[in-house]
Amino acid sequence: MNPLDQARLFITRRHFFARTATGLGAAALGSLCAAEAGGKSTGGLPGLPHFAPKAKRVIYLFQHGAPSQLDLFDHKPALAGARGKDLPASIRMGQRLTGMTAYQASFPVAPSIFPFAQHGQSGSWFSELIPHMAQVADDLCIIKTLHTEAINHDPAVTFFQTGFQLAGRPSMGAWVSYGLGSENQDLPAFVVMVSQGTGNAQALADRAWGSGFLPSKYQGVKFRAGGDPVLYLSNPPGYESPARRRYLDDLAALNEMSQRELHDPEIATRIAQYEMAFRMQTSVPELTDLSHEPDSTFEMYGPDSRKPGSYAANCILARRMAERGVRFIQLFHRGWDQHGNLPREIRQQCLQTDQPSAALVKDLKQRGLLDDTLIVWGGEFGRTVYSQGTLTETNYGRDHHPRCFTMWLAGGGVKPGISYGETDDFSYNIAENPMEIHDLHATMMHLLGVDHTRLTYKFQGRHYRLTDVHGRVVRDIVS
Amino acid sequence: MCSARVALCVCVLTLSAAERPVEFNRDVRPILSDNCFTCHGPDAKTKNIPLRLDQEAAAKTDLGGGRHAIVEGSPEQSEIIRRITTESKAKRMPPVYTGHAIAPRELEVLKSWIASGAKWEKHWSFNPPQAADPPRVSAPAWVRNPIDAFILERLDREGLKPSPEASPETLLRRVTLDLTGLPPTPAEISAFLADRSPKAYDHAVDRLLASPRYAERMAYRWLDYARYSDTNGYQFDGERSMWRWRDWVIDAFARNMPYNQFAVEQIAGDMLPNATTAQRIATGFNRNHRGNSEFGIIAEEYAVEYVVDRVETTSAVFLGLTLGCARCHNHKYDPITQKEFYQVYAYFNNVPEHGRAMKYGNSPPVTAAPTSEQQAEARVLDGKIARLQSAIDARAPLTRREMESWRSTLTGSRTSWPLASGMEKDLAKILYDIDDRFTVSARVQSTAVPHGAVWSRMSNSPRGRGLGLYAKQGMLHVHITSDYDDDAIRLNSKVALAAGRSYNVLLTYSGSRMAEGIHVYVDGSEVEMEAELDSLYRPLGNAGKAFKEPFRIGEGGGPENKFNGVVSDVTVYSRVLSGEEIAALASTSPSLLYYLDSAASPDLRAQWAELAALRRQREALERTFPTVMVMAERSERRPTHILNRGQYDKPGEVVEPGVPAQLHPLPAGVPNNRLGFARWLVAPENPLTARVAVNRFWQMMFGVGLVKTAEDFGLQGEWPSHPALLDWLATEFVRSGWDMKAMLKTMVTSATYRQSSAATPELLQRDPENRLLARGARFRLPAEAVRDSALAIAGLLDSRIGGPSVKPYQPDGLWKELTMQDMDYVQSHGRDLYRRSLYTFWKRTVAPPMLANFDAANRESCVVRESRTNTPLQALNLMNDVQFVEAARVLGQRMMLEGGATPAERLRYGFRLATGRLPHDSEAAVLQGSLSYHLDYFAGNAARAGEFLAQGESKPDAHLDRRELAAYGAVGSLLLNLDETVTRP
């Protein structure tokens, strides 16, 4: 953008701020285009953050389909003796099951066939499927006692993403960009990337990063590997950037004529949005272009990382977004729904995700970004200790299990190198320190400097919040 | 949040309250409701909180020790004021943890209200609207109709003046966009400017209201309220077919159906006496909610969600109430108990439905919904069939004599006399799945008690996938199985076949996916079948995979199911046979049908064959009828329980259907069922329905409702900006016979509507949201109109009304990257690319990206308030989406072909197409500069122009210079991106 244009735009906008009490009106600059030139965090609500944040941004690595806690983190050596025996009724306690296994005649206990070992100073347990995560054991805060109300994918993902099982509420990223705004004037505040696994993939929905009843500008912007990284980002074929610059100058000139006549603040906002769009046409390709990353980066994130759209490549992008101040970065990796052939399928999923997930922790750490970036890893529920379908020496499946499952957090003010919460010997019920999804949300908000009870939005007469009427900050995991 | 509340106060209080005494409903209750009612409101009892502030008596009662929350006339003695102002953090109200605080200004309001006697009023919207006479105003000459008197009266009080009338061009563009969602054409503009009569504007309004474009524009907003979609939602999000309901809505608006009838037919059209097909289709309104077909769900859980959705949607759309808030506990703000929620729930809880939705297609109950063309075609066929049938009937005595003489020539014996016409001869081609209709007849006999498969199409295991008819120790057993455990239909007969006898066993299936679609006959008589399981929802060929098992006779489903006798005389038809045909197949002696089919004279047989062919044609036609999900009533009422904490598996007390006690009772003489509820909704005593409806019309015409919270007229809703006007409109609406077009006409012909929307700095400061309407409203077009306008300006818009939804351009892979394997977006072609946006296929989990970008409602649940944002993604969308690039280059072509000879004329023409007016000189100069730039830009580079012009499927005019055309196309894009083009002026 040439300086003259910049100055003109700046003057135009100042002019409006000076002349109207509310500045840019109802549809004012939002999270997408929040920052004033030279400013820091903008577009958020006044009074936020409520207190000094430990994390400035979040990278949420959503393992979609629900990874098995029993085969990755929640080591249950005692299960070896129970192999093939029916899950004791004293453990199951008549809990509701999904329609997929409710009709099973028996519930044979299926211990993991993968060896476990302790790692790092912390001595946390990892199975052989995730050797790279094991290397960063002392950076992770492993929570073994998440539990949820939902037992099917769609409501469970919706619950994780919005704090409620049914569609209609804003996603966490939307809440965060609504409350805290953006730290980058050229990139969206909330970005989503989806990668495909090898295993049984369940459907996802736009609503997982939707804005619910918040204005739609707070919804996550999906970055994609094929075609435009952001929908409609590229100019049409045959139409290049210099022409677009000229075009935008003419458009602004015409729009400013209307604005002088009508004094509608929305016109000024629209002019600014077109400029933001133009900047995104540069900033987004610059962000997604990995060609200048050194070989060492790709070695760190593993063989998949040179493949655009892979989980590994998305992890590198996540780091680049963190560097550029994107507030909420959410990856979804599909394919964890291992109802059958779990040993084979989970191995493939881990090959795709273990190394890049760990690399992200290492990479942020070496760049000094881990301290103020919160990384979250986990799925929408856990998996059952009993086998879905036939249990053999080498094969089993696991159904959905909402009553306990494992996630890990890293950086951003969480205690590193700890394991929080205990499940019973079957990883079926929680023995101590249960943690609800609402608690996780409350804690994440706390790390971002937000009191989850005070970030609200009035809709249908009610002051809604991400944690509904629940949620407690789990201070045991906050450093 | 805080800022939003402050803004609201600024708007409502500082602009209005200064000279007026405090009014409970307007000033006081909102403070109490927002800050106190969560604990001290209608739900206080469940929390064991003794003080209630939502009821006068309770709020003024002795709290013990002589303390009173509110002491009339004495703020000092009122506990409520003490607790708000106390220094003690522990005692202060509202408690810090709630995040609420009483602002100093609010405290003053409370004090002055108590000081002046703490007068209580019923919540305003629960009182019937009062038709007040329009007030006297400062400038009676400005007043065109009563709306203006109410608006001006408020402006007078604020010391503001209305703005001058907008220019004729602006006015026509405004009203055309508001009423039809499209910009006016140059011809319409010219005609309007040329019409000097004082009625010119009225005539334009009449013309617009009579246009089919009006009905489409009204319909698309109604689709948002009704959460209309072309897919089921939730996890799998398979396709459904509700477009016949959508077309019913368009038709209702086109015919200007009175709003009360519009409401009754959608809520309970099926229960009206002699309900027509159209009235049944109307009830699709409450089947538009999402349906869950995820494998493994607990059906009862979702059966509850569907009913809750109906209550929430119906109450939001018609009553402006958030009844859903009382699902788990008494409403926190409004006087609605949890019990009352379930009483309303009971009206909608009697649908013969299953909690798990069909994976593909419509979930029962459904109705066939032929289009008018299909109905006409059916009538023609029925006429032909009747004529031929009567010709055959006329010679019946003769036919019978001929048949007798034929019979006397028969020798030997036969066990069956199959009907040849329509019989499937190649059993290898029989690949019936769950949606197919068929009849299979067979003769079975065994020396033992019959056991095993009569026929099947099934994998080789007893609990495998497939379908078939079996004998199980003599009992007949039918199954259609996608998954044995919970995705199947299984039926068993109550009586057994005996050993040693020969039987004709015949099965018909209607393709309904329900047990009720299966009928079994033994020797021509129907046998009673008991359903063991009736929960089929996935086809045999699932997730894009073919189901290859062949049709087998006497086996299928494992070796243990090999039939233990003889199966013979198998005949298969791809339709449901009539009773007469079934009897003919069962009979061991030849039937009249057999004779006509196979043995009569060549002439008669030819006639009979023609009739049979017509009947097959009729049946084939019927199979193409679209269906639509509708409401229906179970024969036996399903009991409704209060669900503790709203959970499906925590049923409590049983409740009867009923309406909330705070509102008027059911009208005399109506039944206490869903139809009675619908009549209650539109009863003259209902204080809400008319207000809520006119408020939404106002929102459509002015951008914001008189009550901004269009979805909530309860205690937490906004106080109306013009209460007396709202009441006048509501009473006028009812008085006019709920005439929607008349109501809109009143609004758009008011002087208020006709004002210029140019703001002044002073006005922007006084009234940034323009709630006082001292100027015309100006706001960005709704998503649908942004796209439709571009197509109309380019001349691409396709004008066909209704029909199945279409799939315009969409970036590749959007569905695939989120959905299951077998779902991909298959783009439409040709004219379907240019249909109005209300016909765009709506997939709930992956909404059409352009519409979603421009703030379209999400269609997951009911949305009645319009929302508008302004983002860079919208800019990218308008500049780069192929739909808009194509529209831009076609607009460029239109400028060249229709605009005139010179560039200046062409640019003026294009500008007028886009904005409805001619450019000023300064604007024309910018356009000219842009054109020159782009002529240069493309001139040196033919490849560039070629690429640019290749956008979209329509072909550029080959006679035009491609580089010039590309340059005009680029200017076309500039015009489509103007703020003015995407704004209703």
- pLDDT of A462 reads 85
Measured between alpha carbons, how far is B95 from A7 in angstroms, rounded to an integer?
A: 48
Angle formed by the axes of helices B29-40 and B104-115, nearest 10°: 100
The residue with greater pLDDT, B103 or B692, is: B692
Task: Give the nearest chain B residue to A277 (CA atoms).
Answer: B872
Query: Mutate which of A16, A209, A232 to test chain B, going by most B C-beta atoms within 10 A?
Result: A232
Q: Is residue B24 part of a domain?
A: yes
Q: What's the average model confidence in pLDDT over B972-978?
A: 98
Q: Is residue B176 part of a domain?
A: no
The number of residues in chain B equals: 985
Task: Tell if the CB–CB gap between A207 and B852 is shorter than 8 Å.
Answer: no
Measured between alpha carbons, how far is A256 from B920 in angstroms, rounded to an integer?
A: 13
- pLDDT of B1 reads 28
Long-range contacts for B60-63 (Cβ within 8 Å, ≥24 apart)?
Answer: B60/B118
Task: Tell if the CB–CB gap between A201 and B820 is shorter than 8 Å.
Answer: yes
CB B948 within 8 A of CB A236: yes
Q: What's the average model confidence in pLDDT over A75-104?
A: 88
- pLDDT of B817 reads 86
Q: Are residues B836 and B946 in the same domain?
A: yes
pLDDT bracket for residue A220 (50, 70, 90): very high
pLDDT bracket for residue B822 (50, 70, 90): low
pLDDT in tens, A150-170: 999 999 999 999 999 988 899
pLDDT bracket for residue B99 (50, 70, 90): confident
Q: Are residues B427 and B560 in the same domain?
A: yes
Distance from B142 to chain A by nearest Cα, in Å? Answer: 22
Task: Tell if the CB–CB gap between A266 and B780 is shorter than 8 Å.
Answer: yes
| Chain B residues with CB-CB distance to A102 below 8 A | 485-486
Distance from B229 to chain A by nearest Cα, in Å? Answer: 14
Task: Tell if the CB–CB gap between A237 and B819 is shorter than 8 Å.
Answer: no
Task: Tell if the CB–CB gap between A154 and B294 is shorter than 8 Å.
Answer: yes
CATH classification of the domain holding B448: 2.60.120.200
CB B658 within 8 A of CB B349: no
Distance from B648 to chain A by nearest Cα, in Å? Answer: 13
Measured between alpha carbons, how far is B968 from B888 in angstroms, rounded to an integer?
A: 8
Q: Are residues B475 and B608 in the same domain?
A: no
| Chain B residues with CB-CB distance to A47 below 8 A | 2
- pLDDT of B10 reads 36
- pLDDT of A29 reads 38
Burial of B535 (0-12, 13-18, 19+ CB in 10 A): buried
- pLDDT of A41 reads 63
Domains in chain B, number: 4
Task: Give the nearest chain B residue to A461 (CA atoms).
Answer: B716
Domain that holds residue A145: 55-241+294-477
Q: What's the average model confidence in pLDDT over B189-210?
A: 97
Q: Is the dihedral of CA B966, B968, B973, B976 positive or negative?
A: negative
Distance from A18 to chain B by nearest Cα, in Å? Answer: 10
For residue A461, give the nearest of B333, B779, B966 by CB distance: B333
pLDDT bracket for residue B9 (50, 70, 90): very low
Q: What's the average model confidence in pLDDT over B135-155?
A: 96
Task: Give the nearest chain A residue to B844 (CA atoms).
Answer: A205
Whether the per-residue pLDDT at A12 is higher than 70: the answer is no
Q: Is residue A263 part of a domain?
A: no
- pLDDT of A126 reads 98
Instruction: With H, G, I as helix, E, B as strand and everything else as coil, classify residue A383.
Output: strand
Q: Are residues B434 and B540 in the same domain?
A: yes
pLDDT in tens, B418-445: 998 889 988 888 889 998 999 999 999 9
- pLDDT of A36 reads 35
Fill in the amino acid letter for B22: V
Measured between alpha carbons, how far is B127 from B585 in angstroms, rounded to an integer?
A: 68
Measured between alpha carbons, how far is B455 from B309 in angstroms, rounded to an integer?
A: 43
Q: Is residue A322 part of a domain?
A: yes
Nearest to B704 by CA among B687, B688, B716, B720: B720
Q: Is residue B27 part of a domain?
A: yes
Fill in the amino acid letter for A327: R
| Chain B residues with CB-CB distance to A458 below 8 A | 1, 4-5, 716
pLDDT bracket for residue A40 (50, 70, 90): low
CB count, 10 Å around CB of B799?
A: 12
Fill in the amino acid letter for B645: R
Calculate what percentage of chain B has a pLDDT beyond 70.
98
pLDDT bracket for residue B821 (50, 70, 90): low
Q: Is residue A65 part of a domain?
A: yes
Domain boundary among B78, B95, B121: B121
Measured between alpha carbons, how far is A115 from B689 in angstroms, rounded to an integer?
A: 66
What does the angle CA B232 – CA B235 – CA B240 come to, to the nearest 5 degrees? 15
Measured between alpha carbons, how far is A471 from B5 in angstroms, rounded to an integer?
A: 24
| Chain B residues with CB-CB distance to A463 below 8 A | 1, 99
Contacts of A48 (CB under 8 A, 6+ apart): A179, A180, A449, A450, A455
pLDDT averaged over chain B? 93
Distance from B206 to chain A by nearest Cα, in Å? Answer: 29
CB B586 within 8 A of CB B458: no
Task: Tell if the CB–CB gap between A204 and B711 is shorter than 8 Å.
Answer: no
Token pair recorded at residue A123? 């001595």
Distance from A296 to chain B by nearest Cα, in Å? Answer: 30
What pTM was estimated for this model as a whole?
0.89
Task: Give the nearest chain B residue to A454 (CA atoms).
Answer: B99
The interface residues of chain B toward chain A in range 81-120, judged by CB-CB distance below 8 A, are: 97-99
Task: Tell if the CB–CB gap between B4 and A458 is shorter than 8 Å.
Answer: yes
Domain boundary among B625, B647, B670: B625
Q: Is residue B186 part of a domain?
A: no
Q: Is residue A226 part of a domain?
A: yes
- Which of A28-37, B279-288, B604-613 is most confident? B279-288
Q: Which residue has the tokens 């979040």?
A: A58
- pLDDT of B46 reads 72
What does the angle CA B711 – CA B715 – CA B721 come to, to the nearest 5 degrees? 70
Calculate what percentage of chain A has a pLDDT beyond 90.
77
Contacts of A219 (CB under 8 A, 6+ apart): A171, A174, A190, A209, A210, A211
Q: Are residues B976 and B934 in the same domain?
A: yes
Q: Is residue A314 part of a domain?
A: yes
Strand A373-378 relative to strand A57-63: parallel, antiparallel, unpaired?
A: parallel
Q: What's the average model confidence in pLDDT over B123-133?
A: 92
Distance from B521 to chain A by nearest Cα, in Å? Answer: 32
Beta partners for residue B530, in sequence order: B492
On whether any CB of chain A is under 8 Å from the CB of B606, the answer is: no
Task: Tell if the CB–CB gap between A231 and B758 is shorter than 8 Å.
Answer: no
Task: Tell if the CB–CB gap between A206 and B5 is shorter than 8 Å.
Answer: no
Measured between alpha carbons, how far is A407 from B78 in angstroms, rounded to an integer?
A: 52
Domain that holds residue B618: 370-410+591-625
| Chain A residues with CB-CB distance to B778 below 8 A | 262, 264, 266
Token pair recorded at residue B223? 């689709």
Domains in chain A, number: 1
Task: Tell if the CB–CB gap between A227 and B979 is shorter than 8 Å.
Answer: no
Query: Mutate which of A95, A460, A467 to test chain B, going by most B C-beta atoms within 10 A?
Result: A460
- pLDDT of A13 reads 39
Q: Is residue B706 part of a domain?
A: no
pLDDT bracket for residue B287 (50, 70, 90): very high
What are the two backbone dihedrals, phi and then psi, of residue B343, each rounded to the nearest 5 degrees? -70, -40
Token pair recorded at residue B970? 């680029």
Q: Which residue has the tokens 């009422």?
A: B637
Task: Tell if the CB–CB gap between B978 and A238 is shorter than 8 Å.
Answer: no
CB A284 within 8 A of CB A310: no
Q: Are residues B875 and B914 in the same domain?
A: yes
DSSP result, A425-464: TTSSSEEE--EEHHHHHHHHHHHTT--TTT-EEEETTEEE
DSSP percent split of chain A into helix, strand, coil, nearest 5: 35, 20, 45
Nearest to B318 by CA among B286, B340, B291: B286
Strand B518-522 relative to strand B525-527: parallel, antiparallel, unpaired?
A: antiparallel
Whether the per-residue pLDDT at B868 is higher than 80: the answer is yes
Q: What's the average model confidence in pLDDT over B269-284?
A: 97
Q: Is residue A145 part of a domain?
A: yes
For residue B869, give the nearest of A19, A30, A400 by CB distance: A30
CB B844 within 8 A of CB B290: yes
pLDDT bracket for residue A319 (50, 70, 90): very high
Q: Are residues B489 and B604 in the same domain?
A: no
Instruction: With H, G, I as helix, E, B as strand and everything else as coil, classify residue A197.
Output: coil
Instruction: With H, G, I as helix, E, B as strand and everything else as coil, classify residue B437.
Output: coil
Domain boundary among B92, B121, B150: B121
Q: Are residues B399 and B532 in the same domain?
A: no
Q: Are residues B573 and B602 in the same domain?
A: no
Q: Are residues B542 and B607 in the same domain?
A: no
Alpha helices in A22-171 (DSSP H): 89-92, 131-135, 153-162
| Chain B residues with CB-CB distance to A190 below 8 A | none
Query: Mutate which of B163, B297, B979 to test chain A, going by most A C-beta atoms within 10 A?
Result: B979
Q: What's the average model confidence in pLDDT over B451-480?
A: 95
pLDDT in tens, B11-53: 343 444 445 788 898 889 889 888 888 888 888 777 788 888 8
CATH classification of the domain holding A346: 3.40.720
Measured between alpha carbons, how far is B920 from A254 in angstroms, rounded to an integer?
A: 10
Instruction: Give whole-number Cα distances, B897 to A346, A474, B913, B926, B957, in Å.
Output: 62, 69, 14, 22, 9
Q: Are residues B483 and B596 in the same domain?
A: no
Q: Are residues B550 and B617 in the same domain?
A: no
CB count, 10 Å around CB of B196?
A: 6
A121-130 core/surface letters (b: 16 or more CB in 10 A; e: else): ebebbbbebb
